[in-house]
């Protein structure tokens, strides 16, 4: 088979930094450099100039960062869709099951190419955080599942991710396709580690604990803070390094201040320089990642690349295929369990370092290896695919039609607040009057759109 032309689609992409944007970037880079041709489709970001070896096509977006932490693409604008007609696409790979996959379904009708979807994240948690109405939470989750049912093959980054999808009502099969890391195996140089520590006032030999990820409570951060309180009560000195940003960061820092841990905790914000981030892993003694939200935990393999061991929740997705006491330390999902591990070790970090060395040997997987495996599967999907015309927007996708109307109204009326409010209310009224929409009570939908106005204005 000749080289494949792969279209990768996701709602986030650099300069936005998260695990999925990192995955898409590495897929595109490795495919373009070594395997075939890659093009990335992602929402517009104000002021962003893309300069990559592969092509990036950006389509309209609206600012939903207050609600979900990133901008939402609007893949319903015909003028922007024409740019995709100029691309030769053999296979479409969506990394987000909502608007990105809706765009993928539109492109499938244009290109007659199959869609693969990677399920990275427990989207039901994000939906419930972004939408207050339980009725609309159910509508959104049902629409998400319906969207996933419409693709040609589903990949999950772990068995836990796949089973989460099944629990939401997905009826099909899935293949586990692991993510990799772009760090080379081996710690950063001693000189780089020393410089990193000195720049942050860490030069006293105290144990250094690390968290890397979005600053969101559901990442298990409260477990970390409460466990550190116990360490301090026992007179154990330490440094806690938080790397990342997110909507809960202010609350997290306030909670740390209330607990009297300000002097021990260091917040760096997001670190986009991959060399510096690897140095942060190399400079630490133990990676604390008590998250049951994450479906794979790329950061655990990033830590392993640098020889850093991780503390994980037992039976979590991040702990999948790892061994407690060998290449990870596994705890129960509470602060007491984490505190017990840290108190027993005290200032003696030899045990942590042994776990880290084992993790480096046993858990490390490069992005090159991961993408090569995915690319071989692409070939199988393309070979067995038989195109069948479908309507990309059917009655089961009414949620996406609703979001389309709202998104376009927001985009057109952004510069005129009164016009924006009128158009949004007109859209809501139109939805209430549409007979083939999913049935829900008028009072709840009115309250929902009023809440949306408060969020976006």
Verify that 61 and 115 share a domain, yes or no: yes
Same domain, 30 and 129: yes
* Residues 30 and 147 placed together within one structural domain of the fold: yes
pLDDT at 375: 98
Cα angle 399, 84, 100 (rounded to 5 degrees) comes to 30
One domain for residues 272 and 383: no
Residue 278 burial (10 A CB sphere; 0-12, 13-18, 19+): buried
Q: Is the residue at 272 inside a domain? A: yes
| Same domain assignment for residues 105 and 238 | no
* Strand pairing category for 208-212 and 239-243: parallel
Establish if 424 belongs to a structural domain.
no
Rounded to 5°, the CA angle 201-205-211 comes to: 65
73 and 208 co-located in one domain: no
- The pLDDT assigned to 437 comes to 46
Examine residue 397 and state whether it is found in any structural domain, yes or no. Answer: no
The residues near 26 (Cβ < 8 Å, ≥ 6 apart) are 180, 182, 367, 371
Residues linked to residue 411 through DSSP beta bridges, in sequence order: none
| Whole-number Å distance between alpha carbons of 136 and 286 | 41
Q: What is the CA radius of gyration of the chain?
A: 23
Q: How many domains does the chain have?
A: 2
Outline where 3-98 has alpha helix (H). Answer: 19-30, 65-68, 78-85
Closest by CA position to 107, among listed 140, 145, 78, 141: 78
- pLDDT averaged over 10-residue windows placed end to end, the chain, 457 residues: 90 84 94 96 90 92 71 73 82 92 91 95 71 76 89 94 91 94 94 95 90 93 97 94 93 97 95 94 97 84 96 93 95 97 88 96 94 97 91 52 50 52 59 49 54 56
Residue 129 burial (C-beta neighbours within 10 Å; 0-12, 13-18, 19+): middle
Query: How many angstroms separate the CA atoms of 120 and 97, rounded?
Result: 9
Give yes or no for a cis peptide into 360 (omega within 30° of 0): no
Q: What is the pTM of this model?
A: 0.74
| Structural tokens at position 158 | 């772990």
pLDDT at 295: 74
DSSP sequence for 151-175:
SSEEEESSHHHHHHHHHTT--S--E
- Return the closest-CA partner of residue 29 out of 387, 443, 372: 372
Task: Tell me: do 129 and 263 sit in the same domain.
Answer: no
CATH number, position 24 = 3.40.50.2000
Helices within 325-413 (DSSP H only): 335-345, 350-362, 367-384, 398-412
CA dist 157 and 332 (Å) reads 23
How far is residue 374's CA from residue 155's CA, in Å, rounded to a whole number?
10
Q: Which residue in 339, 74, 109 sits closest to 231, CA to CA? A: 339
54 within domain boundaries? yes
**Same structural domain, 382 and 339:** no
Identify whether 419 is part of a domain: no
Residue 305 covered by a domain: yes
Of residues 318, 295, 245, 297, the one with CA closest to residue 126: 295
Cβ–Cβ under 8 Å, residues 43 and 58: yes
Same structural domain, 199 and 271: yes
Structure-token pair, residue 294 = 């994450």
**From the CB of residue 318, how many other CB atoms can be counted at a distance below 10 Å?**
26
Distance in angstroms (rounded) separating the CA atoms of residues 254 and 246: 14
Residue 91, domain extent? 5-180+374-392
Q: Classify 350 as helix, strand or coil.
A: helix
For residue 153, which of 441, 382, 451, 442 has the smallest C-alpha distance? 382
d(CA 299, CA 205): 24
> For residue 393, what is the DSSP state?
S
What contacts 394, CB < 8 A, 6 or more positions away?
none
**Cross-strand bridge partners of residue 218:** none
Nearest to 144 by CA among 123, 167, 174: 123
Domain for residue 422, yes or no?
no
With respect to residue 405, please indicate whether it lies within any of the assigned structural domains. Answer: no
């Amino acid at each position: 088979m000749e080289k494949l032309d792969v279209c990768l689609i996701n709602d986030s992409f650099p300069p936005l930094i998260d695990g999925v944007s990192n995955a898409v970037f590495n897929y595109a880079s490795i495919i373009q450099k070594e395997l075939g041709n890659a093009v990335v489709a992602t929402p517009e970001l104000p002021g962003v100039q893309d300069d990559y070896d592969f092509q990036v096509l950006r389509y309209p977006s609206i600012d939903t960062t207050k609600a979900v932490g990133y901008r939402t693409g609007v893949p319903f604008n015909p003028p922007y869709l024409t740019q995709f007609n100029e691309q030769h696409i053999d296979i479409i790979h969506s990394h987000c099951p909502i608007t990105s996959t809706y765009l993928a379904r539109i492109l499938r009708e244009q290109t007659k190419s199959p869609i693969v979807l990677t399920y990275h994240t427990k989207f039901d948690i994000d939906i419930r955080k972004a939408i207050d109405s339980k009725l609309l939470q159910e509508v959104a989750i049902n629409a998400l599942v319906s969207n996933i049912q419409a693709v040609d093959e589903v990949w999950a980054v772990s068995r836990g991710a796949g089973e989460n999808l099944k629990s939401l009502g997905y009826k099909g099969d899935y293949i586990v396709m692991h993510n990799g890391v772009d760090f080379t195996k081996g710690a950063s140089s001693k000189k780089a580690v020393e410089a990193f520590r000195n720049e942050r006032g860490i030069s006293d030999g105290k144990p250094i604990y690390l968290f890397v990820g979005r600053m969101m409570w559901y990442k298990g951060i409260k477990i970390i803070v409460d466990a550190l309180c116990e360490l301090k009560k026992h007179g154990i000195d330490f440094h806690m390094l938080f790397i990342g940003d997110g909507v809960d960061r202010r609350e997290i820092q306030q909670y740390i201040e209330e607990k009297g841990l300000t002097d021990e905790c260091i917040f760096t914000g997001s670190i986009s320089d991959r060399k510096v981030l690897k140095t942060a892993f190399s400079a630490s003694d133990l990676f604390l990642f008590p998250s049951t939200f994450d479906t794979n935990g790329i950061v655990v393999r990033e830590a392993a690349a640098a020889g850093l061991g991780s503390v994980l929740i037992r039976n979590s997705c991040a702990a999948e295929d790892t061994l407690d006491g060998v290449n990870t330390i596994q705890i129960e999902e509470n602060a007491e369990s984490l505190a017990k591990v840290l108190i027993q070790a005290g200032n003696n970090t030899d045990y942590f370092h042994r776990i880290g060395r084992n993790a480096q040997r046993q858990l490390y997987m490069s992005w090159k290896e991961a993408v090569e495996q995915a690319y071989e599967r692409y070939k199988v999907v393309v070979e067995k695919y038989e195109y069948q015309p479908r309507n990309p927007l059917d009655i089961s996708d009414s949620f996406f039609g609703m979001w389309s109307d709202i998104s376009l109204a927001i985009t057109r009326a952004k510069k005129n607040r009164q016009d924006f409010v009128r158009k949004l209310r007109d859209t809501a009224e139109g939805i209430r009057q549409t007979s083939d929409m999913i049935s829900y009570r008028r009072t709840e939908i009115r309250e929902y759109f009023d809440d949306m106005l408060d969020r976006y204005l």
